[in-house]
Amino acid sequence: MAQGTRKVIITCAVTGAIHTPTMSPYLPITPEEIAEAAIGAAREGAAILHLHARDPKDGHPTQDPAIFKQFLPKIMSATDAVINITTGGSPHMTVDERLRPAAEIQPEVASLNMGSMNFGLYPMMKRHQSFKYDWEREHLEKSRNLVFKNTFADIEHILAQCSENGTRFEFECYDVGHLYNLAHFLERGVVKPPLFVQTVLGILGGIGPHAEDLLHMRRTADRLFGGDYVWSVLGTGRNQIPLATIGASMGSNVRVGLEDSLWNGPGTLAESNAVQVRRIRQVIDALSLEVATPDEARAILHLKGRERVPA
């Protein structure tokens, strides 16, 4: 690889809180499955592992730190990947519930949603007539009348609780207004560059998945943050690989994984997170770019280092 080739950070979002067990038999549910899925993704080149937890009995999202602690040691003993723990949890949870694992575990990175929004999951019900668990239908149906609450006070509370532990953030921006919210906190000095800005496209209630939407987010971020941010692209559903490809060709990092998309091509369910990481790695290689290692990601994002994460 030529000297000076740009490094691309791959984040893999392993299980998430959007999809339900009925939607894919490959969605990792138990701590053992989550650990195996994360390790597989890291071996394929994911430098950052974005992690949610699920109740192993029925797969519903949980922010119980005890469940995170059932899979984190296995992941950390098998990989040197950067651990990124959600503070988004599920839109149905309170902010304090969502914050618990990141505040207690003190990872190198935590995700942070940068604004309140409608978060429509109910269209997914068209694809499924029956569900394995009762909570699944309710989880999707309730999103018709759901506001995913992330007020300025909520955001500042999460920033204060995690920043004192040296945790930095994956700022998840689902719309242009979220970029302006982040700029507000930057101007106040509440957040410090480099900002790891994850532009999220394709959630019903946020910005759409068109290439023009991606360009608009990029132009706005450039204007607001200049050289003070590290850009990453997350496309949901079938838009995952196309938008990541466009982003990577324009200078972004990328995020893939079964949290954001269950697919590995039209009509084909991805059998693992590793499959999606492998696919985007092929794109990165074809663009004559280089996949960043975990330590390179740490340097790019100015992370505190694995040795400062409590055992």
What is the model's pTM? Answer: 0.97
Tell me: pLDDT of 168 over 50. yes
pLDDT the model gives residue 3: 58
* CATH classification (class only), 10-305: alpha beta
What is the residue-averaged pLDDT of the chain? 97
pLDDT single digits (tens) 248-293 = 999 999 999 999 999 999 999 999 999 999 999 999 999 999 999 9
Q: What is the DSSP letter of 84?
A: E
Q: Where are the domains of the chain?
A: 10-305
Q: Which of 200, 160, 182, 198 is CA-nearest to residue 114?
A: 182
3 state SS for 215-227: HHHHHHHHHHHCC
Q: Where are the beta strands (DSSP E) in the chain?
A: 7-8, 10-13, 48-51, 53-54, 61-62, 82-85, 109-113, 117-118, 147-148, 168-173, 195-201, 229-235, 253-256, 290-291
Tell me: pLDDT of 1 over 60. no
Beta bridge partners of 117: 148
Q: Match 């039209």 to its residue by tokens.
A: 266
pLDDT the model gives residue 65: 98
pLDDT the model gives residue 177: 98
Beta bridge partners of 290: 7
pLDDT single digits (tens) 212-251 = 999 999 999 999 999 999 999 999 999 999 999 999 999 9
Q: DSSP letter string over 167-204?
A: -EEEEEE-SHHHHHHHHHHHHHTSS-SSEEEEEEE--B
pLDDT the model gives residue 4: 74
Q: Which segment of 66-70, 97-101, 299-303, 307-311 scores lowest on mean pLDDT?
A: 307-311
